[in-house]
Amino acid sequence: MNSMRVIKAKKREIDHKDYIKRSAQESDFHEVIREPVTIADDEGIKVVYDKLDFDTTKYSDVFRGMKYESNERVGGLKTTSRIFGYSPRVVLRKDFCSATGLSFSDPESHAMIIELGQKIADNSVLFFDGQEIMHGVTPMVVAEDGYRFTAVFYSLQQMWNCLTVDEEIARIRNIKTQREKKRAYADTDKKESEVEAQKNKSGGANSGTVEK
């Protein structure tokens, strides 16, 4: 890491309602950081920004060859991105932790990006607590033949509940077994109820007398 300028910051009160449905604007800040810097307040270090001293060309080549998904955020901000790494459980849709789709559709690119996580991103690196610090992206101005890729690494709180791969597989198998048993018991109870209803409708249980 290079030698860093240190900025002593002080939190200011903001009204979060003022930032709803809009992207970040240049009026939201008073200084653009262009050199390595550490930003801290009375509680400790909050932001670290530094320049990387290794060639990231191979990662840029991977990013340029990937297939992306385009979306539009509130306020009309268009984004082009692709999720990598791992995803947490979604009970009603996917009740197990797993790797994201990129690891299956393009495992080589996925492995390269995960490797990048150990070295970080596109010739600069920024660390901060995204849950604590409000942040945003201002509109990008890129030359006609230029490009910019940003690899964003973050930990979803739900990921903290994920187990090891083997434990996660054992967990979902057990859950599915229990669900199938409950479904089978429910189907049996339903059939018994239908039979009983049919008996009552016909005037009683099917019975007879054999006379000799």
pLDDT along the chain (212 residues), means of 10: 77 80 78 84 87 83 86 74 84 84 85 61 70 68 75 78 89 90 78 64 41 32
- For the chain, what are the domain ranges? 5-162, 164-193
Give 133's DSSP letter: S
**Rounded to whole angstroms, how far apart are CA atoms 173 and 151?**
34
| Total Cβ atoms within 10 A of residue 124 | 13
26-60 exposure pattern, b = at least 16 Cβ within 10 A, e = fewer: eeeeeeeeeebbbbeeeeeebbbbbeeeeebeebe
**What are the backbone dihedrals phi and psi of residue 18, each rounded to the nearest 5 degrees, phi first?**
-70, -10
- Kindly report each contact of residues 74-78 with a partner whose C-beta sits within 8 Å and lies 24 or more positions away, as own/partner: 74/20, 74/21, 75/21, 75/22, 75/23, 77/23, 77/137
Rounded Cα distance between 106 and 67, Å, is: 9
Of 155, 156, 151, the residue nearest 66 (C-alpha): 151
Look up tokens 């299956």; give the residue: 104
Closest CA to 56 of 193, 134, 148: 148
Looking at residue 173, its pLDDT comes to: 92
DSSP codes joined into one string, 69-92: EEEE-GGG-EEEE---SEE--BTT
